[in-house]
Amino acid sequence: MLFFSFFKTLVDHEVTVELKNDIQIKGTLKSVDQYLNIKLDDIQVVEELKYPHMSSVKNVFIRGSVVRYVHLPGSVVDTALLEDATRREASSQASKTKQG
């Protein structure tokens, strides 16, 4: 849930989603769900000449499983907090593993 939690904070920020088929889509993150499916608004494909079929698309819903990378604006990431969140996630995972 860490990534879900993290991506939620990026809502309404501009991100670039790089898909596994190499298309890079830049747009405003509108929402994300637990599968990390992503909804982008006002999109723009980075290499528009290469993917002309995308030029008329204004918003997209991207299935989480086809995302390779999400390029984030560094300024909106609270690193210290993210570290802590990661620690929490790790500890909860560890406790779950112990239980299982």
Partner 1 sequence: MSFFGFDHTLPRDRGHDTSAPGFSQAADPFSGARPTHYDDALDFEDTYDGLGDELDEGDDAFNDDTFGGRGEAAVTPGKQPVGKDFDFFGQTAKVAGAMNEEQLRFSRQQPISKVTSAQPSPSFAPPAAKPVKTGYERYKELGYVADMRVDADIWGTAPKRAPAQGSPGLPPPPAGRKMMSLEEVEAAIRAQTKKPAESEEPSQPPSQHQQQYPALVQQQQYQQNHHQQFQQFPPHPQQQHQQFHVQPLTEGPPTPHRQQRDRKQPGIAQQPVHILQRGPSVGPHGDKQTTVLQNSNRHPGIQELGGSRSHANSPGHRSHPSNGRQIITHPTQLADLSEEDRAKFLAEDAKRAKRNHKIFLMSKDNGLMTPQDKNFITRIQLQQLVTATGNPNEHGTGSGLSEDFYYQVHNQIRGGPRQNPGQPLSNFAQTYLYQTGGRHSGVRRQNRGGDNHLQRMEHQVQRAVEAAKNKPKNKQLVIEGSLGKISFSNAKTPKPLLNFKRTENDRKAPAVTGSDRKTVLADIEKVYSTLMEMEDHDRHNPPPLHNDVDPELVGRHMDWREKAEKLNAKLWQELKVHEPIGDTEIHPFIAYLSFSKGKKSIQRVFRHITHEQRTTILTMIVVHLDQLDVVRQAQLLTGENLLNASIRENVELFSLAVLPSLFTYLGDAPLDIVTGVLGLILSINVDIISRTRVGVSLLTMVLSRAELLKQGGEVDEQEWTQWSSTYNQFFNVLEPTLPSIFPGTVNTGEDIYVWQFLAAIGIGASPEQQQRLVMAVKDRVMETVTLAKTLPPAMSNQRLANVNLFMRSIGLDVELLA
**In the complex, which residues of this chain contact partner 1 (CB under 8 A)?**
1-2, 4-9, 11-12, 30-35, 78, 80-85, 87-89, 91-92, 96-100
- Please state the closest distance from residue 12 (CB atom) to partner 1, in A: 7
Shortest CA distance to 28 belongs to which of 37, 38, 15, 45? Answer: 15
Burial (CB < 10 A; 0-12, 13-18, 19+), residue 40, is buried
Of 24 and 39, which CB lies nearer to partner 1 in the complex structure? 39
Of 22 and 73, which CB lies nearer to partner 1 in the complex structure? 73
- Please state the closest distance from residue 82 (CB atom) to partner 1, in A: 6
End-to-end alpha-carbon separation of the chain, Å?
A: 18
Of 55 and 86, which CB lies nearer to partner 1 in the complex structure? 86
Q: 97: part of which helix (H) or strand (E)?
A: helix 79-99
Of 66 and 76, which CB lies nearer to partner 1 in the complex structure? 76
User: Can you tell me the distance from the alpha carbon of 91 to that of 100, in angstroms, rounded to the nearest whole number?
Assistant: 14
